[in-house]
Amino acid sequence: MRLILSALAASSLLLLSGCGKTAPGYPGPAPLPPDQIMSFTTLFHENCAACHGVSGQDGPAMDLNNPEYQAIVSSATLRQIISNGMPGTEMPAFAQSAGGMLTARQVDAIVSGIRKRWFSAATLAGANPPPYAQSKPGNVQQGQQVYQQRCAICHQSGSQDITDPAYLALMSDQAIRVEIIAGRPDIGQPDWRHDSPGGKATTPLTNQQVDDLVTYLSSLRKPAIPTGSAVNANPGEVK
């Protein structure tokens, strides 16, 4: 093993010395000015990965690589959210026009990179999911009933108690809605038509039930944001 490693090291040294530009002691190509970077990988890594995960999943914030999420959200919505952020949440505004660091072209590069990697038109073809956005207020009592029938089995207490006001204070209604419809396969949250991620099909939640659920959960959120909570963090400080 040692031998192979040192052989590799020797050959990479040879490679290096074969090319004067990258040999130790010589400067490489000048780094691009930050507003000229157009590579999706670099832009995503530097601006998004800390919260959404290096490959768009397993981060503290929702998974962007979930194909069901990509199937219900439009490119225009993605562009809007990435440009302007989601006020009242930890999702920062990135467009220079909204006080962020990225040019409109860079935001476009991120949107098209996300779509190219994680969107497939086939994903929910024929599945008729509830729409991305809620169009009318739901009913709190009905939402509570649906919650008892469909959610409480997994969400009773402890760390998975999503009726906790302090927890709800960190999530917008839109994020709750998206997670109910598209699920979060990376953490075990099922989509609107399964009993567990990739598990058994159940009676799909209707659009009305999703409206009611979101309205119910939203009614439990305390308006006061706890001091020191993530929502209070200045998005401009987060990279």
Distances (CA, A) of 58 to 53, 78, 128, 209, 225: 5, 19, 27, 28, 25
**Binding-site member from 71, 93, 178, 182 for ligand HEC (CB under 6 A):** 178
**Binding-site member from 196, 208, 220, 225 for ligand HEC (CB under 6 A):** 196
Say which residue the tokens 């990988």 belong to: 41
Say which residue the tokens 């739901």 belong to: 138
Through-space distance between the first and last CA atoms of the chain, rounded to whole angstroms: 40
Q: Please report, to the nearest 10 degrees, the dihedral formed by the alpha carbons of residues 105, 106, 107, 113 taken in order.
A: 110
CA 182/CA 118 separation, integer angstroms: 13
Q: Could you say which residues in the range 83-112 bind ligand HEC, by CB under 6 A?
A: 86, 89-92, 94, 110
> Cα 129 to the chain's mean position, in Å?
19
- How many residues are there in the chain? 239
Of 16 and 117, CB closest to ligand HEC: 117
Q: How far is the CB of 65 from ligand HEC (least distance, A)?
A: 11
Q: Is 160 in the site for ligand HEC (CB under 6 A)?
A: yes
Q: How far is the CB of 5 from ligand HEC (least distance, A)?
A: 37
Q: Is 54 in the site for ligand HEC (CB under 6 A)?
A: no
CA 239/CA 234 separation, integer angstroms: 11
Number of residues that bind ligand HEC (CB under 6 A): 44
Q: How far is the CB of 121 from ligand HEC (least distance, A)?
A: 18
Site residues for ligand HEC per CB under 6 A: 47-48, 50-52, 61-62, 64, 73, 78, 81-82, 86, 89-92, 94, 110, 150-151, 153-155, 159-160, 162, 171-172, 174-176, 178-180, 184, 187-190, 195-196, 213, 238
